[in-house]
Amino acid sequence: MNAAIRNSEVVFVLVITSVAQIVFANYLPLALYLDLPLLFALYIGWYSSPFRGATCGTAFGWVQDAISGTYIGFNGLSKTLVGFSAPYLNKWLVLEGFWARCLVIGTISIVDNCMVIGMRFLMEETIQEGIWLRVLAEVPVTGILGGAIFQLYDHIKFPHKGFGRL
């Protein structure tokens, strides 16, 4: 399935993610609980190679860093690790069910946020009060909407063929 996601799709998803994150940051701040860069880094890595997943994770993370105003590289590194590990998770986990995907995406969201908070702590950057409440709110939103986005994109990208009506 390495050829399942083309370069043009990756560029398209990167542009859509960038525009959506800018709109969310300026007009819909509650929508920032949906971590689109994480979802797409995970999705591209899931159906690609570790190198491609890491590269896309870096790009999506840098876009998120630039839009959110954090140091360039915090989200870039965390999304790189998510994109790199996604092909290995694809080999170890079978995620056919909706809730299984939501659980895995939510867990990866916690790990991603902990990496970013840890980097902020190591760099002695101020960490906002209530960050853990934000993380706990982001997990179900990213998990459930991420599972829905995965299923929708899978349905569009890999439609089921009805061989019953030949």
Q: What is the DSSP string of 42-67?
A: HHHHHTS-HHHHHHHHHHHHHHHHHH
The pTM assigned to this predicted structure is 0.84
Within-domain flag for 96: yes
Residue 142 lies in a domain: yes
Classify residue 37: in a domain, yes or no: yes
Confidence at 56, pLDDT banded by 50, 70, 90: very high
Radius of gyration (C-alpha) of the chain in whole angstroms:
16
Number of domains in the chain: 1
Contact 117, 6 (CB under 8 A): no
In a domain, 163, yes or no: no
Which residue, among 45, 65, 64, 43, has the nearest Cα to 54 in the 3D structure?
Answer: 45
Q: What is the pLDDT of residue 1?
A: 41
Please indicate, yes or no, if residue 65 is contained in any of the structural domains. yes
Region 9-33: mean pLDDT is 84
Q: State yes or no: pLDDT of 2 exceeds 60.
A: no
Tell me, what's the pLDDT at 165?
57
Is 39 within the bounds of a domain? yes
Instruction: Evaluate whether residue 88 is within a structural domain.
Output: yes
pLDDT in tens, 104-151: 999 999 999 999 999 989 988 888 888 888 889 899 999 999 899 888
pLDDT at 31 over 70: yes
Range of the domain at 85: 2-157
Region 52-80: mean pLDDT is 90
Report how far residue 89's alpha carbon sits from residue 132's, in angstroms, rounded to the nearest whole number: 26
The answer to whether residue 166 is domain-embedded is no
| 100 or 32, greater pLDDT | 100
CATH number of the domain at 40, please: 1.10.1760
Which residue has tokens 């867990």? 107
Residues 6+ apart with CB under 8 A from 44: 5, 10, 13, 52, 53, 56, 83, 86
